[in-house]
Structure 1
Amino acid sequence: MTTRDADPLIVDDLMEVARINSGAIALRRRRIDIHTVLETALDLSRPAIEKARHALAVSKAAAPLHLHGDDVRLAQVFANLLNNSAKYTPAGGRIEIAVECDLNRVVVTVTDNGMGFTPEESSLLFTLFGRLQPERHMDGLGVGLALSKKLVELHGGTISATSEGRNLGSRFVVSLPVDHAFEPAAPINGAAAVARLDGTKVLIVDDNRDAADSLGELLGVLGCECAVFYDGETALAALERSTPAIAFVDLDMPGIDGCEFAQRVRARAGLRDLWLVALTGWAQAGDVLRSAQAGFDRHLVKPIGLDQITAALTLARER
């Protein structure tokens, strides 16, 4: 599989691991409650769980458990674990997630009754491309767990996995240090943040169908109403019938490219307030200037993170 053919989410994970290894990733730490982090992770993972008709049980701690960490990155960790359980558990299975406090640690356990693994296979779990049972031809390249391990370790935590054996389920345990800071922080409610985005109309324009569809699915999870198009001409025609609050537009498209699309939008009186976000692999200062001159409000370099997406959506809603 070439990079061009790869799932864009897998490529994003690979880029994240590369950034961590090179020290180029910085956590946006603040005081957060583990329960709100898990709410966001569950929102992201619920489509996969429901599609496979798994039963889901959530056991929360009796009181808030605070961490000093990056809520977006930690939600990414737990969404990876939940998606992993959903993927490797036969349809109609059971997934459990439990939270507890053990001395000065917050411990989150994700358990399933899926395919499990042998002691010999356990060494592959958190390595890049370390897929179990590759003969099953499951989607993915075995990147998610490696990324999760890196992110947990950046937070001063540990992640481990156990199984009684093949077809006997798996148990993943994440342990993170408790934040004992006295000063209360403003609540970070992942579910409330998603709720504020409910009904936001979004236009996505990208000739890479996989990337466009993946972004559309993600925004759908966040409660947005998405219209996805694979070329600028068709997207412009759609704007004559309905005006979204925000448009995510790839710059490098055949025919009408992203900059020409933005120029045509800004030329229409009724569309001048449409919030335009450029999606691109072009990261030089000249590229940013060119997109701004074309009429874009934001210039995001691929791969984009969930925090960048939600920030853009919030700005579009509040302008």
Structure 2
Amino acid sequence: MRELLGDEQDELFQRFMDSVHDYAIFLLTPEGIVASWNVGAQRIKGYRAEEIIGRHFSVFYPQEALDRQLPAHGLRTAVQQGQWRDEGWRLRKDGSRFWAHVLISPLLGPNGEVLGFSKVTRDMTEKRESEQRLVQSERNLRLLVETVQDYAIFSLDCHGVITSWNRGAQRIKGYTAQEAIGKHFSVFYEPPDVARGWPQEELAHAAEQGRFEDEGWRLRKDGTRFWANVVITAIKDEHGQLLGFSKVTRDLTERRRHEEQLREREESLRLLVEGVRDHAMFLLDAQGRIKAWNEGGQRLLGYDSSQVLEQDVSMFYPEEDRLAGKPKAELSSAQSAGHLLVEGWRQRADGTRFWAEVTTTRLDGDGATPRGFIRIVRDLTERRRAETLEMEGRRLSEFIAVLSHELRNPLAPIRNAVAILDRFTNDEPQARWCLDLLGRQIGHMTRLVDDLLDVSRITSGKLRLEPVALELNTLVRMAVESAGAMVRQRGHSLSVQLAPVPIQIMGDTTRLTQVVANLLANAAKYTPAPGCVDVSVRQDGEVATMQVSDNGMGMSESLLQRAFKPFVQGVRALDRSEGGLGVGLALVKNIVELHGGSVSAGSAGLGKGTTITVTLPVQKQAAAEASATAQTVVPSPRRVLVVDDHRDAAESLALLLRMSGHDVEVAQDGPMALRTAAAFRPNVVLLDIGLPGMDGYELARRIRELPKLGGVRLIAVTGHGQQADRQAAAAAGLHSFITKPVEPEELARLLSPV
């Protein structure tokens, strides 16, 4: 960031130069062409900047100086000796002459090459005339000098001994005239400067060049230091014989203090910028060329300063953006607005891309054209990757929700049809076998849909538990009774070993039953018949442990490491006609961890069986043991309105309800449902949510507004099962929410009078 500070210093210096009216200060090219122009130069020489920049500086010399080739001599001497001083007549724009003091200094590059010259010209006409008048009226001038308070003005003989002393010298240096006159002027210099002969060297320079100017530390009478600007002028007679020196000293301590403070602030700023490693910060000129580069830029973009300085900023853009003109367009926008914040791909030195936040700020110049731009680049690749993953997760969740809805719709009439056939089929073994098969397959499909939705809820953090006090032995026994039939149907033996004492836990009954069912289903599917499946429960201190073991296919070491990730399955044999989606163990893991427990898998290898171990925290204060006895609900006849645009689902559900003794009407859309409800006056309305024209939520609100239907019971029967759907149903005033396909027992319970 040293370049940036240098530019800032240049700006401050330029402003300082423009405030100097008594000196013409400007730059020359190596050939002597004027390259810059300050206010003092315009005042002294009469040219405006646009009139003189680009012309040769010899335009300021009278013909006699040009005949002597004085301009070229001055440049050569400055290069040979480090600077060239001269006094003589010069020309203004209007042709008038003035006596000028000229200082030309070469500007050298890092390898010593001449980059140009600085030229300082002072109008010495009045001073020259004053010096002439001084010879004629020395007494008056001495009185005038004596009155000056802000400058120490005194004279020296040829050897440096003080011969006169003004009031300003007494005020600045502390010596009276009697104390100072007769002393050597080296008394004002610090001992190291005296030791190296600097006072005598100043006099030698002044004697040789006519004038010498310097800044440095000087001493007062009391030993304190002050920062002095010193001008020593050689006094010569008309024959050039040295008579002595005049010496003008100005106290610039306060100015130096401010300059030091400015340098300290600039250094602090430089260190601050250099210390920023997470942001690339660099300076551009008005054309987009890189002028300064920080360490963060090297870390982020892979280039060091030597590789990027003076290069176009487009080097960081991908090729397609360069071809499209994006680098220039962004600079143009920043120039117009003053500030521009964009995001896009940028390219590192090794060719890799990263997603960047780029801030471009205009640096205003003196005119309409900006001095340049400050650009700050931040790597947002990780944030963009996270946002992309989040967006993909949302899309996946939406896809699963749509998929589950589309799968539930055909399952609903099939489930209803199976329930209807079950009423008629009693003694036919083949028909009973077919019904059992259909029931199992519908149950299997329903579990797959539920598993997909549960995985989606877990990954999006939307799965919620409803914990209550539970007794683990009882929960496992009831879950095994529910899922054990599936294990035995596959030809496996099932053994259960419960803990000898009750184990009290807090948990969600439905979700923990789902854990046991998924583990039994996995064991049954991955164990060739006839196999053995064992379930055990025990308490180890404050931890309850449940294990499900089988003697089936087992797991390899690599599969053990991935078994609890979604959609991971073992090798499926060709003779296995039934499998799953590979989400069962992932659901088990997430549900158990939501309960504060853990789950692990163990296997001695392929063909040697698998053991899944689940641990859950035990409640320290045991809850009162509660027992629940399942009772078959026999509902009383009700007037039921079924609303569903899926004709098979609506008619099959209506037939099933009529067989249970209910009075049923069917409607396929909202307007038809409103007309039917007004005439039929149902006790219960079973309505689908995804209806054409008017959705189920709006229909529910409209039904409640019908005369004498304010107390009707509204139940959503839908293929949409997300948490947001349940919340929307509750907000619309629906009493219950069930997903397709509907279990006959659950439907009977919902139709019972409240």
TM-score (norm 1): 0.72
Counting matched residue pairs gives 282
Query: SS in structure 2 opposite 1:67?
Result: strand
Q: Which AA in structure 2 matches 1:25?
A: L
Residue of structure 1 equivalent to 2:603: 163
Give the Cα–Cα distance (whole angstroms) in 2 for the partners of residues 313 and 200 of structure 1: 6
Q: Structure 1 counterpart of 2:553, which letter?
A: M
Residues 685 and 713 in structure 2, CA contact (< 8 A), matched pair in contact too:
yes
Query: Who is 1:213 aligned against?
Result: none
Q: Distance in 2 between matches of 1:234 and 1:95?
A: 38
Comparing 53-62 with 288-297, greater Cα deviation is found at 288-297
Specify whether residues 240 and 180 from structure 1 end up closer, same or farther in structure 2 by C-alpha distance, changes over 3 A only: closer
| Conservation of the 8 A alpha-carbon contact between 1:48 and 1:87 | no
Percent identical across equivalent pairs?
30
Asked whether 1:287 is paired with 2:696, we answer yes
* Equivalent position to 1:59, from 482, 492, 497: 497
User: Deviation per CA, 1:123-169, whole angstroms, max 9, x where unpaired?
Assistant: 23111110111454642110111011100000010111111122221
Q: Does 1:20 align with 2:458?
A: yes
Instruction: Point out which structure has higher relative CO (alpha carbons under 8 A, 6+ apart).
Output: 1
CA contact (8 A) 1:41 1:75 kept: yes
SS in 2 for 1:120: helix
Q: Which amino acid aligns with 1:290?
A: L
Q: Once the two structures are superposed, what CA deviation does each residue of 1:212-251 show, in whole Å capped at 9, x if it has no partner?
A: xxxxxxxxxxxxxxxxx9343454456555426999x9xx
Secondary structure at 2:470's aligned position in 1?
strand
- 1:85 pairs with 510, 517, 523, which one? 523
Q: Which residue of 2 aligns with 1:38?
A: 476
Deviating more after overlay: 56-65 vs 83-92: 83-92
- The verdict on how the C-alpha distance between 1:266 and 1:140 changes in structure 2, with shifts beyond 3 A counting, is farther
Q: Which residue of 2 aligns with 1:222?
A: none
Aligned pairs (5 A) from 1:238-277: 239-243=657-661, 256=668, 272-273=682-683, 275-277=684-686
How many Å separate the matches in 2 of 1:300 and 1:242? 18
2:581 is aligned with 1:141? yes
**Map of 2:543 onto structure 1:** 105
Task: Note the C-alpha offset of 1:293.
Answer: 4.6
Structure 2 residues not aligned, in runs of 5+: 1-399, 409-444, 704-711, 724-735, 739-744
Name the aligned partner's letter for residue 509 of structure 2.
D
Question: Among 172, 197, 210, which residue is 2:632 paired with?
Answer: 197
Q: Which residue of 1 aligns with 2:751?
A: 316
Within the candidate set 173, 184, 187, 2:626 is matched to 187
Conserved? CA contact 2:657–2:664, under 8 Å = no
Decide whether the 8 Å contact of 2:533 with 2:548 is kept in 1.
yes
CA contact (8 A) 2:716 2:737 kept: no
Q: How far did residue 94 of structure 1 move? A: 1.3
| 1:78/1:164 CA distance change after superposition, 3 Å | same
How far, CA to CA, are the matches of 2:660 and 2:520 in structure 1? 36
* Contact residue 232 and residue 261 of structure 1 kept, 8 A: no
Q: Which residue identity is paired with 2:631? A: R
Whether the 8 Å contact between 2:674 and 2:702 is mirrored in structure 1 is no
Q: What does residue 219 of structure 1 align with?
A: none
How many angstroms apart in 2 are the aligned matches of 1:308 and 1:44?
23
2:716 is the counterpart of 1:299? yes
Task: Find the counterpart in structure 1 of residue 17 from structure 2.
Answer: none
Q: 1:262 to 1:131 in 2, by over 3 A?
A: farther
Cα pair distance change 1:170/1:27, threshold 3 Å? same
2:493 touches 2:533 (CA, 8 Å); kept in 1? yes
CA RMSD of aligned residues (A): 4.1
Contact 1:206–1:230, Cα closer than 8 Å, also in 2: no
Change (3 A) 1:166 1:24: same
Structure-2 change in CA distance of 1:57 and 1:199 (3 Å): farther
Deviation at 1:121, TM superposition (A): 1.6
Distance 2:671 2:532 in 1: 48
- In the TM superposition, residue 86 of structure 1 has moved relative to its aligned partner by 1.4
| 8 Å CA contact retained: 2:688, 2:696 | no
Distance 1:58 1:318, change over 3 A: farther
8 Å contact 1:232–1:258 — kept in the other structure?
no
SS in 2 for 1:297: strand
Structure 2 Cα separation of the partners of residues 258 and 55 of structure 1: 52
Matched-pair contact (CA < 8 Å) for 1:60–1:100: yes
Q: 1:119 to 1:237 in 2, by over 3 A?
A: closer
Q: Does the residue aligned with 2:620 lie in a helix, a strand or coil?
A: coil
1:114: how far off?
1.4
Q: 59-68 or 288-297, which moves further after superposition?
A: 288-297
The answer as to whether partners of 1:262 and 1:296 remain within 8 angstroms in 2 is no
Residue 31 of structure 1: how far off its partner (Å): 1.0
3-state DSSP of counterpart to 1:116? coil
Residues 114-153 of structure 1: matches in 2 within 5 Å?
Answer: 114-136=552-574, 138-153=578-593
Classify 1:22/1:235 alpha carbon distance in 2 versus 1 (closer, same or farther; 3 Å): closer
Moved more, 231-240 or 172-181: 231-240
- Letter paired with 1:316: L
In the alignment, what sits opposite 1:72? 510
Equivalent-residue separation in structure 2 for 1:125 and 1:317 (angstroms): 43
Distance in 1, matches of 2:648 and 2:548, equals 38
Q: What does the per-residue CA deviation read over 1:153-199, in whole Å, with 9 as the maximum and x for residues that have no partner?
A: 000101111111222211111000001125x346154xx2xx22366
Alignment partner of 2:557: what SS? coil
**How far, CA to CA, are the matches of 2:674 and 2:486 in structure 1?**
35
Partners of 1:116 and 1:245 in 2: CA distance = 54
One-letter amino acid of the structure 1 residue matched with residue 626 of structure 2: P
> Residue 47 of structure 1 aligns with which residue?
485
Cross-structure match for 1:217: none
149-158 or 81-90, which deviates more: 81-90
Task: Show CA shifts across 1:84-139 (max 9, x none).
Answer: 11111122221111100011101001011111111122123111110111454642
The answer on whether the counterparts of 1:246 and 1:276 sit within 8 Å (CA) in structure 2 is: no
Match of 2:632, as an amino acid? L
Q: 1:12 deviation in Å?
A: 2.2
Relative distance call for 1:16 and 1:104 in structure 2 (3 A) is same
Structure 1 gaps of 5+ residues are: 209-228, 250-254
Query: Deviations for 1:265-309, whole angstroms, at most 9, x for unmatched residues?
Result: 88558xx44x55445568xx963342465566222563389x976
In structure 1, C-alpha distance between the alignment counterparts of 2:695 and 2:514, rounded to whole Å: 32
Paired AA for residue 601 in structure 2: A
Query: 1:206–1:80: structure 2 CA closer, same or farther, 3 Å change rule?
Result: farther
